[in-house]
A and B are shown apart, each in its own frame.
Chain A
Amino acid sequence: MTGSDGSTYDAAELKLLIQRSGRFMIAPLPANLDTHRAETLCEIVVAAVRAESPQAVIFDASSVQLMDSLVADCLNRAGRMIRVLGSKAFLSGLPPVLCSTLVQLDVRFPDLTKTGNLDHAFESASRCTTTEDP
């Protein structure tokens, strides 16, 4: 499969991006996140959550330069599925230019907890996964 920038990638390569760190799973979002990459990665992440039951998944957006509303929708749906599966879902490290785009598009991520960076995401994930849900 060829991405929008001409680079080739497949599901196996995207799967390699996902890392496990203790109770948490980190899914770095690639730069130039087009719809194909977003959908494939989200499918892989949801399958991994189902298989491994991490307490939280952190989507790291620090490398993402451009995101349109459909890609944002894909992340939102992944966040909802992750929550249905019993894990928490985080979105961390949105670059300023991307924040500006998302505000202009009026995109929100109601099922993803936003943090400024991975450290904050880990801190938040640790807090909410050691606190009993009401």
Chain B
Amino acid sequence: MESSSRQIQTIVTKSAARLVARASDSRSLTGETMAPRVAAAVEKYLLRNDPNTPDAEIAKFIDELQADDLCLIIACERGDESAWNDLVERFTATVRSAARSVSPNEDAAEDLAQSIWAELYGLRKRNDGTPASKLAYYSGRGSLAGWLRAVVGQLAVDVFRKQSRLVQTEEDADLDRLAKDANVPAGHAVFAGIATPEESMSNRYAQADMQQALNTAVQELDAEDRLLVKLYYFDNLRLREAGVVLGVHEATASRRLTRIQTDLRKRVTKILVDERGWTQAETEKSFAEVAQHMDTNLEALLSK
């Protein structure tokens, strides 16, 4: 164990030296000064998942770090004023743009941007009195501009979260009302004639079973498939946007979604037949009925 730690340390030191060498402006930093930040990144993104990560992979990981951005940030952390000036000069526009995109108005965006710089500079103090600078969380793995946008977004979420939730809740309520309407005898009667109370109750139980089975089936999807479902259905993203998050093309995302839908149907059918005692015919019928109701409800909503 010790030998592997020393070995990793050796690799980190050598790779950090290489990183400094390839930076266009190393800002008088050396491999030794970079090594702790680099080691932390290796620990966070590689060794935490796999302690036995091969040396070559560690070296490759370090070689892919953003050398210039990392040198800039570390120089800022060390109090290098010129580095700070460079940081502000280069990234003020980025921070402002990010703040504007998540803020309801210009004033809020300006306030947000100022808060960001305060966070970065470490104006906040930790409990022990040490500056709490967010700069320490930058690993150099992604770009500095993207990291700054992420910082802005996180802060904005905290600040504006209540407002956005309120909006969603209202929209959900409309749809939920419609969904409930579909279950009551009157709503049901619009599509399938007047249902008896027994039929209505039976339908509600059937729909509940189906929703539960679908919920279970979604939870059983692998992480990427589940993320795609969440992005597309829960976050209402377009396939192109969902594909960007997943790092795939829109067409790929579309194919995956089609496959997921097919797999989910099979899984839901299996759950209903094996665990709830439904027959195949009942399952097929229920699929069609629930979908028909939803379809009509959406049309009714859109026509308002």
The answer on A and B forming one complex is no
